[in-house]
Chains A and B, each alone.
Chain A
Amino acid sequence: MTRPNVEVLTDLWTRMVRIRQFETRVTALSAANEIPGYAHTYAGEEAVACGVIPLLTSSDWITSTYRNHGHSIARGVSLASIASEIYGRADGVCRGKGGSMHAVDQSLRMIGGMGIVAGGLPIAAGAAFASAMQGRPDVAVAFFGDGAVHQGAWHEALDFAGMFKAPVIFVCENNLYAETTSVDYHLRTSSVAEMAVPYGIASATVDGMDVLAVRAVAAEAIDRARAGAGPFLLEAMTYRYGGQYEGDTQTYKPPAEVAYWRERDPIAAFREKLLAESIVDRSRLDLIDAQVQIEVDEAFEHAIAAAWPDPSELLTDVYTTYGVSGVA
């Protein structure tokens, strides 16, 4: 893969900053008890979403998880519509019916932010299967964490995709923790990538703190899937700066480990690279930082002022039609 040009590199950096600043705000608002319900933030893992999603066409499919803000932002969902969704407002991306755990945009072919850790994988495999069957070039990408690899759905999805050569890329955000449980306890293989082998699926492990490294492998995986070579399992080694959810005190993380990964921060590292190689100058990056800050401010100002859903929304969209009278 050829090196991305300046515009692409700047765009990747902007998306990563957008995710980081958005999630930093979500963490602060959660701590202040401003947000109803659960929030799961993506800070630390930005290089994974931004290494993969910008490579997709608008007709490719994505399944996400309850930790989805980063995927949605990388896909181009507006910060305001995600913020409104987190606040349960009528103009949220799901009209306030999903909240933080489901804040993805189906009109951008993001099928869902699944609350079940491996729930999206079989669905992504099916979307990929359908695309191939209909002779379309679309691929599907299923994001999941390392904690998902033990569920039956994970194995059945890889089995299905391998058997039918479905053009799906399974992207593992290996952030070292399934909730509080370390990969040192829960994985018996030396990597998640290895687990693709019995399913006849190609795989690779990549530095998930390096957006260009993720992008290079993802590009190859997407190209080969589009070319009919079948599924791919991409394991990105990354780190979840927040807890499993906002409010998790993270007493299970050794300080030295946190320091190690913070030292390898994907945004700081990418910024260094862009500056060191004189790709973008400091003032441009600072300007983007400032612009994103305004965007985030505006998104949340918008959300807290946005209208609540009309109570009648409770009953809409359970079905497309229901019974002769159309109601339950």
Chain B
Amino acid sequence: MMPRQLVIKDAINEALRQAMEADERVILFGEDIAGGAGRDVEYPQASDAWGGPFGVTKGLLPLFGRRRVIDTVIAETGFIGASIGAAIAGLRPVAEIMYADFIGTSYDQLLNHAAKLRYVYGGKTSVPMVVRTVTGAGFRAAAEHSQTLYSLYAHIPGLKVVAPAFADDAKGLLLSAIDDEDPVIFMEHKRLYMLSGDVPEEPTRVPLGVARLRRAGTDVTIVGVQKMVHTALEAAQRLVDEGISAEVIDPRTYSPLDTDAILESVSRTHFLVVVDESYPRCSVATDIAAMVSERGFGDLRGPIRMVTAPHTPVPFSPVLEDAYIPQTEVVVRVVRELVNG
């Protein structure tokens, strides 16, 4: 079948639909993932009112019904914990935490239970569940609806962390996440939902743990984290005019991390810049930088540079928020400084 253009939001919706069609065990939990619950009997137009706040799950309720598209109350510990139990008891739950910022309300269930129920008890069970959640600044949504927080999940042994930046990856990685026997945190950037790209119609899987080379280059490796892959690609394009050939890598998954792909690229380009929208401390950017400095130090001809958000909450004012998010010109400047020594 031919690929066609889909926006990321619809690619995710298609992955969910195809997974649910193929496997009766796949169910969805979340707050207003359909919408209108409790009102749609007397007022049918209320049914499927939202499909989640970004409409990602819209249209699944009419296909699969409230038995499998389950609107929960606003109690993340309850339905994330229930997803763990349901996964162990034979279902494949895909639960939505409306914003990644809400992680705190369910963190114990993920940190101490989902992540550890296999290891601690001697490998007798697995927890095949997916938590979909929404990351990212740039929506004028202020400090508690804009964080990325990849590292809060990637830090934990037992969890897998996926953060796609393109429509084909979003679909293929989500299908793999649902197949996976381990708990997977699937992070969707709200500013990328309307980004269009070629997506195969068939349910083509993209394996977890394999980075994607998004642009080949010879002078510097830029690793972009989720939306920052696009910033890195823009920077690489601008650097052409300056005679700098930048390679851009999208790790796609942060646990597992395709360390080999990053090291291999650095072994050819000898310079590394990591671009991440997260806070600068204890992040996936620092993780990648530490990994390369430890295992690829001999290949480096300059310091590893990071372009990140500052160590501040995400501000509201458009002027401040735009200054918070790493900008292309900063990446261009940092690469220029690095490569030109």
How many pairs of residues, A versus B, come closer than 8 Å at their CB atoms?
A: 176
Among candidates A95, A319, A320, residue contacting B122 with C-beta atoms closer than 8 Å: A95
- Bound together, the chains give a CA A122 to CA B67 distance in angstroms of 19
Q: Interface stretch among A45-53, A123-131, A227-235?
A: A123-131
Whether A130 touches B118, Cβ cut-off 8 Å, given contacts A122-B80, A156-B78, is no
CB distance from A228 to the nearest CB of B (A): 15
Chain A residue contacts of B121, Cβ below 8 A: 94, 97-98, 102, 104-106, 112
Give 1 or 0 for each of A152-173: 1 = CB within 8 Å of chain B CB. Answer: 1101110110010010000000
Q: Nearest CB to that of A63 among chain B residues? A: B85
User: Closest chain A residue to B84 by CB distance?
Assistant: A123
Is B109 a contact of A119 with CB atoms below 8 Å?
A: yes
Bound: A321/B208 CA distance, A: 10
B86 touches A106 (CB 8 A): no
Give the contacts of A104-148 with B (CB-CB under 8 A). 104-107, 111-112, 114-116, 119, 121-131, 133-134, 138, 140
Asked if A317 and B86 sit within 8 Å, CB to CB, the answer is no
B78 x A122 contact (CB < 8 A):
yes
Closest to A115 in B: B112
Classify the interface of chain B: helix, strand, loop or mixed: loop
Q: A112-B117, A123-B113, A153-B109 are in contact. Are A130 and B86 (CB under 8 A)?
A: yes
Residue of B nearest to A153 (CB): B77
- Residue B79 lies at the interface, judged by CB distance under 8 Å to chain A: yes
In angstroms, Cα B126 to Cα A138, docked, is 19
B contact residues around A155 at 8 Å (CB): 75
Does residue B218 face the partner (Cβ distance < 8 Å to A)? no
Given A126-B83, A126-B89, A127-B85: A156 and B122 interface contact (C-beta under 8 Å): no
**Cα A116 to Cα B108 with chains together (Å):** 8
In the complex formed, the residue of A with least CB distance to B181 is: A320
Nearest CB of A to B113, in Å: 6
Q: Which residues of B contact A140 (CB under 8 A)?
A: 85, 89
Q: Is residue A322 within 8 Å, beta carbon to beta carbon, of the partner chain? A: yes
Chain B residues, Cβ within 8 Å of A95: 122-123
Contact assessment for B91 and A130 in the assembled complex, using a CB-CB cutoff below 8 Å: yes
Look across to chain B and name the residue whose beta carbon is closest to the beta carbon of A309: B122
- Judge if A254 is at the interface, Cβ distance under 8 Å: no
Distance A319 CA – B158 CA, assembled complex (angstroms): 6
In the bound complex, what is the Cα–Cα distance between A324 and B105 (angstroms)? Answer: 32
Whether A116 pairs with B112 at a CB distance below 8 angstroms is yes
Chain B residues 99 to 113 lying within 8 A of chain A, measured CB to CB, are 105, 108-109, 112-113
Q: Is A294 an interface residue (CB 8 A)?
A: no
Complex-state Cα separation, A175 to B75, whole angstroms: 28
List B contacts of A320 (CB < 8 A): 118, 126, 180-182
* B152-208 with Cβ < 8 A to chain A: 157-158, 160, 180-182, 207-208
Q: Is the beta-carbon distance between B85 and A129 smaller than 8 angstroms?
A: yes
Q: Does B124 contact A (CB under 8 A)?
A: yes
The answer to the question of B62 belonging to the interface, with a C-beta cut-off of 8 Å to chain A, is: no
The distance from the CB of A71 to the nearest CB of chain B, in whole angstroms, is 14
CB distance from A139 to the nearest CB of B (A): 11
A93 at the interface (CB under 8 A from B): yes
Distance in Å from the Cβ of A182 to the closest Cβ of chain B? 25
In Å, the complex CA distance between A323 and B162 comes to: 12
Q: Which of B75, B81, B87, B158 contacts A121 (CB 8 A)?
A: B81
- The one of A96, A114, A133 in contact with B67, judged by C-beta atoms closer than 8 angstroms, is A133
**Cα-based distance from A300 to B119 in the complex (angstroms):** 24
- Asked if B339 is at the interface (CB within 8 A of a chain A CB), the reply is no
The 10 A-B residue pairs whose C-beta atoms are closest, nearest first, are A122-B81, A126-B85, A156-B78, A126-B82, A317-B123, A323-B256, A323-B209, A127-B85, A130-B89, A95-B122
* 16 more A-B residue pairs beyond the given contacts A97-B119, A124-B85, A126-B81, with a C-beta to C-beta distance below 8 A: A92-B122, A97-B120, A97-B122, A116-B113, A119-B109, A130-B90, A133-B27, A134-B89, A155-B75, A156-B77, A157-B82, A166-B82, A319-B158, A321-B181, A322-B209, A323-B209
Which B residues contact A (CB, under 8 angstroms)?
Answer: 27, 67, 72-73, 75-91, 93, 105, 108-109, 112-113, 117-126, 157-158, 160, 180-182, 207-210, 256-258, 260
Q: Could you pull out 17 A-B pairs where Cβ atoms are within 8 angstroms?
A: A92-B122, A106-B124, A106-B125, A116-B108, A116-B113, A119-B109, A130-B85, A130-B90, A134-B89, A153-B78, A156-B76, A317-B118, A317-B123, A320-B180, A321-B181, A322-B256, A324-B256
Residues in chain A within 8 A of chain B (CB atoms) = 61, 63, 92-98, 102, 104-107, 111-112, 114-116, 119, 121-131, 133-134, 138, 140, 152-153, 155-157, 159-160, 163, 166, 316-325, 328
